[in-house]
């Protein structure tokens, strides 16, 4: 009895796996499924060459992991079928940015960076949308909970990795990526008033 | 000097008017942050007055814009007040407060900028789409992974009718009722004899915590009646029973 998979080319197998997976697929996933590791990068390049001018492409959304995506040019068509994504408030995006750039970050630090106190629903919405998850507790007085972003956040906003966040290196060089200093939400300098 | 809303602009640009400045507040704040405009020449009283005017009319305006404006005005007032009330320098303080403030503003600005850049790129479910299952299109992945929050939130969404029946059956707990002092007042007033009698004998009988509650409320009620002059209360010493009687009207 012959393995039905052997009748298919590696390219077809990889294509099938990527197109059918709901999460980005890496070499390890392919190897676990096929029993051997094909040259994924070359196969994906070939696939994309064949897809040229079609409505589909295979994108390396995270280093070493690929996912099928519709071409952005045709997104208007697809949108009809998809669920309307929930709109997020500006505070939501700002909070998300703070968490993404300063993670793991506590609630108090988010408030300090943004200079305003966090309304109760903001973090919950982010967690519920799957962008933010709970991180380890901070080893500081009160053991506050920290927050981090998820892989889903990266995939959703088409960011390859946390190092590829927009302007990340620039901010880091300017030394802005510290949640320690600044003015607390109450508007007073953080180190407390003398006297 | 007056604050007004620019009638020509579509989305309500707020124009500030000072002797040294006339223009939208956003621009002023930006320039003030980068120290390109001299805040010392901005009149804080004017700022507060215009601030006040906006608070008064905030409900009539688009609330989002009004909120933004207030935040910016607050920042301006803060910057200005920092300028007026310089902190005395302290020994051992290495970082100047102004530096901290500048750092804070710079960082806040950076965060605002990148927050705008986040949704500017290709967004899954908006600008392009993956196979059914990715992103917000459905459940993520086919394996059962989750975090603590997912674990917790899995309970309220459970729709199993059998489980609902289970949940609706309340646990077998006795109601936690205590007798009220008001009820005891009425009870005692009707039964208080003219001769001395042990208070305990007047307490309505019950079991367990209910009895203890009755004793406590009746005791308080008897004290209350003694204070009002309706009853007399007496106890020979710490160990002896509490005696009560109706006060004879003389």
CB B246 within 8 A of CB B192: yes
Query: In terms of CATH architecture, what is A8-79?
Result: Orthogonal Bundle (1.10)
Please state which of the ranges A46-50, A60-64, A175-179, B218-222 shows the lowest mean pLDDT. Answer: A175-179
For the domain made up of B181-246, the CATH class stated in words is: mainly alpha
Answer whether B131 sits within 8 Å of A71, measured CB to CB. Answer: no
Distances B153 to B148, B149, B157 between C-alpha atoms, Å: 9, 6, 7
Minimal C-alpha gap between B68 and chain A (Å): 11
pTM given for the model:
0.51
Distance CA B67, CA A171 (A): 28
pLDDT tens-digit series, residues B127-164:
777 775 544 443 333 445 667 777 777 666 555 555 55
Q: Does B182 touch chain A (CB under 8 A)?
A: no
Distance CA A189, CA A186 (A): 9
| Segments of chain B assigned to CATH 1.10.10.580 | 181-246
For residue A97, what pLDDT is reported?
A: 92
**Distance separating the N- and C-terminal Cα atoms of chain B:** 81
Q: In B, residues 61-100, which contact A (CB 8 Å cutoff)?
A: 71, 78, 87, 90, 95, 97, 100
Q: Does B125 touch chain A (CB under 8 A)?
A: yes
For residue B127, what pLDDT is reported?
A: 76
User: Across the strands, what pairs with B124?
Assistant: B128
B36 vs A81, more confident? A81
CB atoms within 10 A of CB B121: 12
- In A, minimum Cα distance to B130 occurs at A69
Q: Is the pLDDT of residue A64 over 70?
A: yes
Fold exhibited by the domain A90-173: Arc Repressor Mutant, subunit A (1.10.10)
Residues of A with Cβ-Cβ distance to B78 under 8 angstroms: 187
Distances A120 to A123, A128, B66 between C-alpha atoms, Å: 7, 13, 21
Same fold, A8-79 and A90-173: yes
**To the nearest whole number, what is the mean pLDDT of chain A?**
80
For chain A, domain boundaries: 8-79, 90-173
Distance CA B136, CA B70 (A): 35
User: Across the strands, what pairs with B182?
Assistant: none
pLDDT tens-digit series, residues A137-183:
888 888 889 999 998 888 888 888 888 888 888 888 888 887 776 55
Minimal C-alpha gap between A1 and chain B (Å): 30
Residues of B with Cβ-Cβ distance to A94 under 8 angstroms: 111-112, 115
Distance CA B73, CA A101 (A): 27
Answer whether A75 sits within 8 Å of B128, measured CB to CB. Answer: yes
User: How is residue B199 written in tokens?
Assistant: 């208070």
For residue A189, what pLDDT is reported?
A: 40
Per-residue pLDDT of chain B (250 residues), as tens digits, is: 444 444 433 345 566 666 666 666 666 676 666 666 666 666 767 777 776 776 666 656 666 666 677 777 777 777 777 767 766 655 444 445 566 777 777 888 888 888 888 888 888 777 777 775 544 443 333 445 667 777 777 666 555 555 555 555 555 666 666 678 888 888 888 888 888 888 888 888 877 778 888 888 888 998 988 888 888 888 888 888 888 888 876 5
Interface test with A, best of B63, B115, B119 (most A CBs within 10 A): B115
Answer whether B121 sits within 8 Å of A187, measured CB to CB. Answer: no
SS3 B138: coil
Across the interface, of B78, B119, B121, the residue whose CB is closest to A93 is B119
Residues of A with Cβ-Cβ distance to B70 under 8 angstroms: none
Left (φ > 0), alpha (ψ -120 to 50) or beta: where does B160 sit?
beta
Residues of A with Cβ-Cβ distance to B121 under 8 angstroms: 157-159, 166
User: How is residue B161 written in tokens?
Assistant: 């009718």
Minimal C-alpha gap between B203 and chain A (Å): 49
For residue B139, what pLDDT is reported?
A: 36
Distances B5 to A163, B12, B66, B67, B112 between C-alpha atoms, Å: 43, 6, 11, 14, 25
Answer whether B104 sits within 8 Å of A78, measured CB to CB. Answer: no
Answer whether A115 sits within 8 Å of B95, measured CB to CB. Answer: no
């Amino acid at each position: 009895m012959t393995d039905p998979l052997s009748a298919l080319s590696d390219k077809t197998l990889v294509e099938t796996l990527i197109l059918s997976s709901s999460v980005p697929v890496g070499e390890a996933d392919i190897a676990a499924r096929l029993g051997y590791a094909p040259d994924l990068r070359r196969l994906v390049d070939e696939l994309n060459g064949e897809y040229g001018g079609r409505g589909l492409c295979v994108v390396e959304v995270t280093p070493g992991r690929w996912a099928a995506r519709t071409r952005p040019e045709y997104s208007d068509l697809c949108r009809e079928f998809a669920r309307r994504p929930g709109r997020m408030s500006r505070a939501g995006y700002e909070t998300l940015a703070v968490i993404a750039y300063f993670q793991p970050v506590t609630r108090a630090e988010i408030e300090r960076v943004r200079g305003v106190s966090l309304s109760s629903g903001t973090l919950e919405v982010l967690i519920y949308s799957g962008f933010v998850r709970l991180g380890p507790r901070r080893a500081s007085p009160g053991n506050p909970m920290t927050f981090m972003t998820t892989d889903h956040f990266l995939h959703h906003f088409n960011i390859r990795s946390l190092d590829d966040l927009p302007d990340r290196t620039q901010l880091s060089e300017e030394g802005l990526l510290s949640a320690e200093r600044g003015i607390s939400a109450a508007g007073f300098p953080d180190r407390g008033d003398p006297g | 000097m007056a604050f007004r809303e620019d009638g020509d602009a579509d989305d309500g640009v707020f124009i500030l008017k000072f002797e040294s400045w006339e223009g939208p507040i956003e621009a002023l704040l930006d320039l003030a942050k980068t120290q390109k405009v001299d805040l010392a020449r901005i009149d804080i009283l004017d700022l507060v007055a215009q601030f006040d005017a906006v608070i008064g009319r905030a409900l009539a305006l688009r609330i989002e814009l009004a909120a933004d404006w207030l935040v910016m005005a607050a920042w301006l007032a803060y910057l200005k007040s920092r300028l007026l009330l310089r902190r005395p320098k302290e020994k051992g303080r290495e970082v100047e407060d102004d530096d901290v403030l500048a750092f804070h503003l710079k960082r806040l600005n950076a965060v605002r900028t990148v927050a705008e850049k986040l949704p500017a790129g290709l967004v899954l479910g908006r600008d392009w789409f993956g196979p059914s299952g990715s992103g917000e299109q459905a459940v993520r992945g086919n394996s059962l992974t989750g975090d603590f929050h997912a674990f917790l939130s899995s309970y309220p969404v459970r729709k199993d009718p059998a489980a609902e029946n289970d949940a609706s059956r309340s646990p077998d707990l006795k109601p936690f009722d205590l007798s009220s002092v008001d009820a005891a007042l009425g009870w005692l007033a009707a039964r208080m004899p003219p001769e001395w009698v042990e208070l305990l004998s007047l307490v309505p009988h019950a079991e367990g915590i209910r009895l203890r509650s009755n004793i406590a409320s009746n005791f308080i009620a008897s004290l209350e009646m003694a204070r009002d002059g309706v009853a007399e209360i007496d106890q020979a010493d710490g160990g002896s029973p509490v005696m009560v009687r109706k006060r004879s009207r003389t």
